[in-house]
Structure 1
Amino acid sequence: MPLYKTITPNSQTTVKIWKITESYDDLFKSVHLKPKSLERVLNMKSELHQRGFLSVRKLLAEFGYEDVDLHYDKQGKPYLKDGKHISITHSFTFSAVVVSDGIVGIDIEKQRDKISIIANKFIDYEFNYLIESDTDYVKKLTIIWCVKESLYKLFVTPGLSFKEHCLVIPFSLEDQSTVAWIDYKGIKSRYHVNFLEFEGFTCAYALA
């Protein structure tokens, strides 16, 4: 499957989404991995994760990068050798990469009813405007999770809690964007976060 979607929220930022329809073998043959990445993908126990990992390398190529251009710091945050900021995500049959001149974070999640069971683990303030009987309850929970995960990837600070330190202001599905805050150890930071839905999945990306 070729590139599924490209989004350009501003002149310095591009999001690319890949729909993973290829087999593991086809993906593996179409990318060139550095030794560390090769070892990592071969040791993955789930073929789903292997395909997600390899599809991210296909997305890198769409940006003009190779696997050798991608590195990770001590906190596990990815970065590119040319200094551009990058964030990566994959879930089941979709993966996404955002590259920007500024700090960014991205997340994709499949919309599943079971998210309502764990809602109290990542939501506090947001319960003030969520309605459990709402037909869009699961969709909104998934958006909030994706927003907070994208903030977590952007902030990359040990001890940051989705429930205690991340806040998403009220939004509607039609907005396709919201404002979120990180309030951590006396430092309050405001972020604009875009989101979109497709084929039963939700994607959110936060821009600093």
Structure 2
Amino acid sequence: MAIAYRQRIDDDTEFALWRIEEEATDLYSQLQLNQQEKDFVESLSNGKRHLHWLGTRVLLRKMLRTDEYIDCKVDEHGKPYLVNLPYHISLSHSFDYAAVMISKTHKVGIDIEQIKQKVERIANKFMRKQELAFIGGRQKIEQLYVCWCAKEAVYKCNGQKEVSFADNILLEPFQFEHHGVVNAQLHKKNNVIDYTVGYMQYEDYMIGYVKGE
């Protein structure tokens, strides 16, 4: 399958979605992997995790428009980075989709989640009371997924561990639209970083994406 959706944020920043319809062997054949990566792929049981890892790497290759080997590693905080290419990257996946965001000039973060009712049961684990106060109405579930995806995107963009969604990432009130923005602040130690997070509903998925420093 080709790229399902692509959006350019600015001249140097974009994200895309890939609907994973291929078998693992088809995705694998489109990649160049070193031995360590081959061993890692073989260690994954056949299933969604296997397809997600392959799907994000195939999409990354398509977005970078290269047939050469891409040295993509993960740092001590779990943030993926490219060793020999001048791009910041962020990867995400959920059920049938892989999502990748790239930028030459800014840190980035992206998250994709399939929309399900169960998010309401765990809302108090990632939202403050004042945030929950502006959530409601017939699109409550969609709003909650915007909040989750926005906080996850900020977390990935920041790229540091020991950040609590409820305690450190705060969202300003917003009205849900199918494609909109929400303002966020990351509070860590004595620093406050402002973010404007884009979000969009795509089929029954929610995507949050952000461009940082």
Q: The TM-score by the shorter chain falls in which range?
A: over 0.9
Shift of 1:179: 1.0
Match of 1:185 in 2: 189
Match of 1:73 in 2: 75
**Structure 2 gap segments, 5+ residues each:** none
Q: Does 1:147 find its partner at 2:150? A: yes
Shift of 1:67: 5.3
Spell out, residue by residue over 1:28-75, the C-alpha distance to the aligned partner (whole angstroms, 9 max, x if none): 222222222222222123511111111112112212245533122222
Residue from 149, 156, 161 that aligns with 2:159: 156
Aligned residues of 1:146 and 1:202 also touching (Cα < 8 A): yes
Aligned residues of 1:106 and 1:149 also touching (Cα < 8 A): yes
**Structure 1 gap segments, 5+ residues each:** none
One-letter code of the match for 2:210? Answer: A
One-letter code of the match for 1:185? Answer: K
TM-score by length of 1: 0.93
Q: Distance in 2 between matches of 1:48 and 1:172?
A: 33
Spell out, residue by residue over 1:147-206, the C-alpha distance to the aligned partner (whole angstroms, 9 max, x if none): 001111111222110000101112222251111110111210000111111120011111
Match of 1:119 in 2: 123
Between stretches 33-42 and 14-23, larger displacement belongs to 33-42
Q: Distance in 1 between matches of 2:36 and 2:174?
A: 42
Between stretches 98-107 and 36-45, larger displacement belongs to 36-45
Q: Distance in 1 between matches of 2:162 and 2:46?
A: 28
Between stretches 56-65 and 111-120, larger displacement belongs to 56-65
Aligned residues of 1:34 and 1:68 also touching (Cα < 8 A): no
Match of 1:194 in 2: 198
Partner SS state of residue 8, structure 2: strand
Between stretches 31-40 and 110-119, larger displacement belongs to 31-40
Aligned residues of 2:183 and 2:197 also touching (Cα < 8 A): yes
One-letter code of the match for 1:202? Answer: M
Count of matched residue pairs: 206
Q: Percent identity?
A: 30
Q: Does 1:107 find its partner at 2:111? A: yes
The 4+ residue runs of structure 1 with deviation greater than 6 A are: none
- 1:7-156, aligned counterparts within 5 Å? 7-62=7-62, 63-65=64-66, 68-80=70-82, 81-100=84-103, 101-124=105-128, 125-131=130-136, 134-156=137-159
Q: CA RMSD in A?
A: 1.5
Q: Distance in 2 between matches of 1:36 and 1:137?
A: 44
